[in-house]
């Protein structure tokens, strides 16, 4: 293949993941918060237009930087890397609550800026969106522990914690076990059941869908799209998309947009997961050239992704 990102076969899983997240985010962002009908109309009239990546990629980048640094995962180090990433390069998309936290002058103040009650009631997809890099940790228990910790500093609702761990485990299975997307839910199901059994029946149903049956997948949000406020529905949507379209990244991007709602977050996570391994021949890579440059653009994403993969090489890279 002639794509420059694969010269001499070189594009590390970490770089592929961050690039996949960035262009899923950037191409999904123009459709964010549109109903599925409006998103479909806009896609038909305007086609795919690359914006800039948003909070989704920036938060995942911060986690990747932390893990690549070799520093321990703790609430303080997570907060420190989130603050550093935001203050050097303020990105669009953060909720009002998260913006308040990111206005803090220190990791300690960041962690203290949200109350326990606020965290317990918070079930948005903001923790799950940054979870893919955590899947690069080599031990399954370490993935679960770090993902739970990452979620817990901003989100305390069981839906948010389960979704975050689920996304991290998907990345882990793709990197270390090359688990087919058709088997990805069965590979992580038992861990999610132990953490939050209440969502298993819903996720089982989403994993079995053959087409986007909106009333089942999105429930009361069927006329809108994937709500950023409901990480349970976010996880179900990610499972459905990856199982049905994970081996076709271009179709995956289109279907993420056509679901409507939180299109940039959904597209970022599913494309990041899909491109950790596989997809070398996909036309999706033709979209990478339109991604932004600048100090934290595509070259920086590749650099940090490579550092992450050097720190945690997949078995085939050893």
Q: Give 21-51 pLDDT, tens digit per residue.
A: 999 999 999 999 999 999 999 999 999 999 9
The CA distance from 311 to 133, in Å, is 12
**79 pLDDT above the threshold of 60:** yes
**pLDDT recorded at residue 8:** 41
The CA distance from 19 to 302, in Å, is 7
**280 pLDDT above the threshold of 50:** yes
The CA distance from 56 to 32, in Å, is 12
> Does 179 carry a binding-site annotation?
no
**pLDDT recorded at residue 318:** 52
Portion of the chain with pLDDT greater than 70, in percent: 96
The helix/strand/coil state of 261 is strand
Question: Other CB atoms closer than 10 Å to residue 249's CB: what's the count?
Answer: 24
Nearest-5° angle of CA 39, CA 44, CA 49? 75
> Does 263 carry a binding-site annotation?
no
CB contact at 8 A, 133 and 101: no
> Does 265 carry a binding-site annotation?
yes
**pLDDT recorded at residue 5:** 54
Average of per-residue pLDDT across 53-80: 97
Closest CA to 24 of 234, 314, 269, 285: 269
Report the chain's mean pLDDT, rounded to a whole number: 95
Average of per-residue pLDDT across 214-227: 98
> Does 264 carry a binding-site annotation?
yes
- Domain 53-313: CATH class, spelled out: mainly alpha
φ, ψ for residue 147 (rounded to 5)? -65, -40
Average of per-residue pLDDT across 88-100: 93
pLDDT tens sequence across 130-178: 999 999 999 999 999 999 999 999 999 999 999 999 999 999 999 999 9
What are residue 226's DSSP bridge partners?
261
Q: What is the pTM of this model?
A: 0.96
């Amino acid at each position: 293949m002639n794509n420059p990102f694969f010269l001499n076969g070189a594009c590390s899983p970490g770089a592929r993941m961050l690039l996949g997240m960035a262009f899923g985010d950037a191409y999904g962002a123009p459709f964010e918060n549109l109903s599925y009908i409006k998103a479909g109309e806009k896609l038909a009239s305007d086609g795919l237009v690359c914006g800039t990546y948003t909070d989704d990629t920036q938060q995942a980048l911060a986690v990747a930087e932390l893990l690549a640094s070799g520093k321990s995962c703790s609430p303080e180090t997570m907060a420190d890397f989130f603050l550093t990433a935001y203050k050097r390069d303020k990105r669009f998309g953060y909720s009002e609550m998260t913006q308040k936290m990111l206005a803090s002058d220190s990791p300690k103040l960041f962690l203290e800026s949200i109350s326990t009650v606020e965290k317990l009631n918070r079930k948005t997809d903001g923790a799950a969106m940054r979870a893919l890099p955590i899947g690069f940790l080599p031990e399954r228990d370490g993935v679960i522990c770090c993902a739970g910790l990452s979620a817990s500093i901003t989100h305390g609702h069981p839906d948010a914690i389960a979704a975050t761990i689920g996304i991290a485990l998907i990345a882990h299975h793709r990197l270390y076990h090359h688990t087919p997307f058709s088997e990805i839910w069965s590979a992580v199901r038992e861990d999610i059941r132990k953490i939050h059994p209440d969502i298993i029946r819903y996720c089982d149903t989403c994993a079995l869908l053959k087409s986007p049956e909106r009333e089942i997948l999105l429930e009361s949000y069927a006329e809108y799209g994937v709500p950023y406020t409901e990480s349970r529905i976010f996880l179900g949507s990610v499972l459905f998309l990856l199982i049905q379209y994970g081996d076709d990244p271009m179709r995956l991007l289109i279907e993420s947009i056509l679901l409507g709602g939180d299109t940039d977050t959904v597209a970022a996570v599913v494309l990041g997961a899909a491109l950790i391994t596989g997809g070398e021949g996909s036309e999706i890579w033709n979209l990478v050239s339109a991604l932004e440059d600048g100090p934290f653009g595509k070259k920086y994403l590749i650099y940090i992704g490579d550092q992450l993969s050097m720190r945690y090489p997949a078995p085939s890279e050893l």
